[in-house]
Amino acid sequence: MVEDPIQMVDLKKQYLRNKVAIDEAIHHCIDQSTFIKGPQVTQFERALAAYLWAEEVIACANGTDALQLAMMALDLRPGDEVIVPAFTYVATAEVIALLGLIPVMVDVDPVTFTITAQEIEKALSRKTRAVVPVHLFGQCAEMEPILQLCRSHQIYVIEDNAQAIGAHYTFSDGEVKSAGCLGDLGTTSFFPSKNLGCFGDGGAVYTNDTDLGERVRKIANHGQSQKYKHDLIGVNSRLDTLQAVILLEKLKLLDDYTAARQWAAAWYDQALADISKIEIPARASSSTHVYHQYTLKVPARDRDGLKAFLQQKQIPSMVYYPIPLAKQKAYQDLGRIVGDLAVTEELCQRVISLPMHTELSEMQLEYICQTVDDYFIDP
Ligand SMILES: *Cc1c(COP(=O)(O)O)cnc(C)c1O
């Protein structure tokens, strides 16, 4: 057994990396007592915009709100269709349903697990108004053909970038952009376990369209242009100043966090590549991978056995995601399904995510990989 218990995500150890700076920032913030709309919120928005090469970042309360704000800003109307991958976290479809829009669920690429232009094209209708590519597990969907298709049909693109902050996408002409800054609006989450996590809930919308950015900002603040003057119906969705000061400190380390994840992923890749029953995560050709998750494909009949075996050896693992969106009780009668979602169905049976975070040690990785190996030698 190894020294520390292995965790899916080790937030405590990550905090200890820059505890002094974070503690100081928190105390300063409490001293200052501007808990809502403190100057650090704007500072963080600017710092993140600079990091992402984005025109505008609007901080908000969480990643689900960020998606809702994006859709409200685009003025989508009840009955409009929004295309989403069937293999994703529920939040993506939830806000669509809440706004009276119709989620149209499409299958994903079997290699990268992300939405494709081909699947989107099959799903288009007269009512299609937007597509939400989800940059699942830390790499971008193949965006260039998606953007071309959507542009030619005048369809908005909202990137759900909750899992891929810091990833980069390279276009065929060599231009490089940040994940989330490729379409009309990008959204992200600062949930503690995300690649850039705060100490509670947080989220942001980003865009290069300053008019849209202004709309998002208004909507997030009760639709108000000036105090007590409300131009739009909005919501209350803010990032606490305390979370902003934490994020300001953690943003400085985001490149280090990403490098640590990529190092752990490379370690896994190398140690697991020779196990014939395992497919290690494939890399998309045009995107870097920031490994929000390290997700294997294993034979369906082995998946739950492997999970139980790992558990027995004190190694946590997770299945993201076990049930296709279209089969969730709340969503099964809602919206439209395109095709048979065969890839999504298969992935739900076959995927398993191993521990992935910024603090994995070589000893832990070795132990995890040895245990996976043991299972497949003698399942
Ligand atoms: C985490 C996540 C969200 C939601 O973010 P919250 O901050 O938890 O609301 C949305 N989409 C995806 C793909 C996510 O992983």
Q: What is the CATH number of the domain that holds 246?
A: 3.40.640.10
**How far does the centroid of ligand 1 lie from the alpha carbon of residue 334, in Å?**
21
pLDDT at 2: 47
CA pair distance 205, 220, nearest whole angstrom = 10
For ligand 1, whether the C-beta of 295 sits within 6 Å is no
Of the residues 231, 251, 271, the one at which a domain ends: 251
Return the ligand 1 atom nearest residue 203 CA: 7
Predicted confidence at residue 3, as pLDDT, reads 63
Residue 174 located in a structural domain: yes
Find residue 104's DSSP bridge partners: 83, 336
Give the list of residues 6+ apart from residue 23 with CB closer than 8 angstroms, or none.
none
Query: Whose C-alpha lies nearest to ligand 1, atom 14?
Result: 162
Please state the domain count of the chain: 2
Angstrom distance (rounded) from CA 258 to CA 261: 5
Q: How far apart, in whole angstroms, are the C-alpha atoms of residue 126 and residue 116?
A: 19
Alpha helices in 153-252 (DSSP H): 210-220, 241-251
- Give the pLDDT score at 325: 87
> Do 156 and 237 share a domain, yes or no?
yes
The ligand 1 atom nearest the CA atom of 67: 10
Give yes or no: residues 174 and 320 share one domain.
no
- Tell me the C-alpha distance between 198 and 96, whole Å: 26
Centroid of ligand 1 to alpha carbon of 328 (angstroms): 17
Residue 61 shares a structural domain with residue 129: yes
308 and 177 share one domain: no
Tell me the pLDDT tens digit for each residue of 82-131. 999 999 999 988 999 999 999 999 999 999 999 999 999 999 999 999 99
CA distance 16 to 152: 49
Q: Which atom of ligand 1 is nearest to the CA of 62?
A: 7
Same domain for 230 and 269: no
Range of the structural domain that residue 260 is part of: 254-376
Domain presence at residue 301:
yes
Q: Which residue in the block uniquely carries the two structure tokens 């920032």? A: 25
Is 4 contained in some domain?
no
88 Cβ inside 6 Å of ligand 1: yes
**Is 3 inside a domain boundary?**
no
Tell me, using a 6 A CB cutoff, whether residue 159 lines ligand 1: no
| CA angle centred on 218, ends 28 and 206, rounded to 5° | 70
CA distance linking residue 70 with residue 76, whole number of Å: 10
Probe target for ligand 1 pocket from 84, 98, 136, 160, with the most ligand atoms within 8 Å of CB: 160
241 and 261 together in one domain: no
Residues 49 and 194 in one domain: yes
pLDDT value of residue 308: 98
Identify whether residues 193 and 204 lie together within a single domain: yes
Residue 196 Cα distances to 7, 192, 238, angstroms: 18, 8, 17
Q: Do 225 and 272 fall into the same domain? A: no
Residue 63 and residue 162 in one domain: yes
**Whether the CB of 195 sits within 6 Å of ligand 1:** no
139 Cβ below 6 A of ligand 1: no
Regions of the chain with pLDDT less than 50: 1-2
Identify the domain boundary among 216, 251, 286. 251
Contact 264, 280 (CB under 8 A): no
Strands lying side by side in the sheet with 185-189: 56-60, 203-207, 185-189, 156-160, 128-131, 81-85, 102-106, 336-337
pLDDT at 326: 86
Give 306 Cα–ligand 1 centroid separation in angstroms: 27
